[in-house]
Chains A and B, each alone.
Chain A
Amino acid sequence: MRERITRRIARELEDGDVVNLGIGMPTMVADFIPDDIRVIFQSENGFVGMGPRPPKGEEDPDLVNAGSEPVTIKTGGAFFDSTTSFAIIRGGHLDATVLGALQVDEQGNLANWKIPGKLVPGMGGAMDLTVGARQVIVATSHTTKKDQPKILPECTLPLTAKGEVDLIVTELAVFRVTGQGLLLEEIAEDTTVKEVREKTAAGFSIAPELTTFA
């Protein structure tokens, strides 16, 4: 499921894009970038040009991503402090960010930092990323582990961002957030619009040219 979602999101990225991938599933997007384009990955702990995990034994504790996983830096990359990192993020220098979600809704609101009374990890850089990146892509399972919808008419959890989400990609569907609500643009090849309806609490319209993804 995670592979299908991140493989599909990788197709949204273009040659020359500067992109920040959130921790967890979004980091897998980097594995599916075609060889013939160059996407520059930014890591909010302070560098651009992030490369894949190094071979075993070559990990460096000073070279990790924002999720503390060992990574590498590519030729042409650069390190900087957190003020520069967030100038990049907030200042309109990021073409896209890919983030996970607890809930996302038809107005493009996102909740992913707090379940009051239960889980309070904090927002980290997510609020800055959603405000600053030109395109905000949400990578999420279509429903929760208990089969509850995550795509809602209105988020009930505390918001990370108001009206900033542009695209929602799940294992079943690709929704674009428009001024008129959600537009179903693609469905997975092994599902139906009916199944998507059943598992989506939010209302949505269907693109005239609905396509499928693998």
Chain B
Amino acid sequence: MVKIVDKEQIKQLFAEGQRLMIGGFIECGAPHRLIDLLLESGVGNLTLIGNDTGFDDQKSGQLVVEKRLSRVIVSHIGTNKETGRQMNRGDLEVELIPQGTLVEQIRAGGAGLGGVLTPTGIGTPVAEESRTIEVDGREYLLAKPLRADLALVKAWKADRDGNLLFRYAARNFNPVMAMAGDKVVVEAEEIVPAGEIDPNQVMTPGIFVDYILQNGGEGASV
């Protein structure tokens, strides 16, 4: 059952050393209010699974700037100079994964698969980190499933049953992460009454969702 919760209840979900998936693509579609609460909660030593580490002068990037992360599993860090600095100092462990492989690892984690086989990265340094498996004469790399303690997801609209719509390019990693967290926490731009989202149009079925942050993070609105 989906629970619509306030800011304090969200903060209680965070704990030191957690493994978090956070949706978004260089800040677009990232759950900025949930990240604010994560920062306010004061927890650290976190592992981030996401496409990137955001911009160093925008919200997602603050998780790095404020040194809350000990490890990131991402496809790109070029937009956040602080990530590179902490990596070079040895303060932050950075695992770089091709974007298409990363998203399939998350999907595998959410879909109960033991991994996926991808041709991406054959003949590159990525292959040195993976097992090579031949299928019908073609080589593939084994990409193992990824899961997280919490998945933080940004939606456009959510209904009180947790059904989600995403807007434009803000969808990106959000729907797939909504399947791969032990607990799934949603920040929506708007929470609408049950029945307002046409079941034909639902992008993420509400059964994947555990918590929705109240509108604006303030008082009940549904």
Contacts and interface: CB of A to CB of B under 8 A. Distances in A.
Interface of A: 43-47, 60-64, 66, 68, 73, 79-83, 85-86, 89-90, 109, 113-114, 119-128, 131-132, 158-163
Given A128-B99, A131-B120, A121 B168 contact: no
Contacts of A62: 28-29, 167-170
Contact of B119 (A73, A109, A122, A131): A131
Contact of A83 (B74, B94, B176): B176
Given A46-B169, A122-B78, A128 B96 contact: no
A81 B100 contact: no
A82 B98 contact: no
Interface string B77-108: 11100001001000000101011110110010
A73 to B, nearest CB: 7
B47 interface: no
Nearest to A82: B103
Interface in B28-56: 28-29, 51-52, 55
| Most chain A beta-carbon neighbours within 10 Å: one of B100, B101, B171 | B100
B124 interface: yes
Nearest to B119: A131
Given A61-B28, A86-B104, A125-B75, A79 B123 contact: no
A122 B80 CA distance: 11
A114 B87 CA distance: 14
B62 interface: no
Interface of B: 25-29, 51-52, 55, 74-79, 84, 87, 94, 96, 98-101, 103-104, 107, 118-126, 166-176, 203
A81 B171 contact: yes
B78 to A, nearest CB: 3
Nearest to B94: A120
Contacts of A109: 123
Given A61-B28, A90-B118, 5 more contacts: A45-B25, A68-B26, A86-B103, A162-B124, A163-B123
The A contact surface, by secondary structure, is: loop
A120 B29 CA distance: 24
Contacts of B55: 68
Contacts of A162: 122-124
Contacts of A66: 25
A80 B26 CA distance: 17
B25 A120 contact: no
B96 A60 contact: no
Contact of B99 (A79, A121, A124): A124
11 contacts: A60-B168, A68-B27, A81-B175, A82-B103, A114-B125, A121-B76, A122-B76, A122-B78, A124-B52, A125-B75, A162-B123
Contacts of A127: 98, 100-101, 120-121, 124, 126
Contacts of B122: 131, 162
Nearest to A130: B120
B87 A120 contact: yes
Nearest to B168: A62
A63 B75 contact: no
Contacts of A122: 52, 74-78, 96
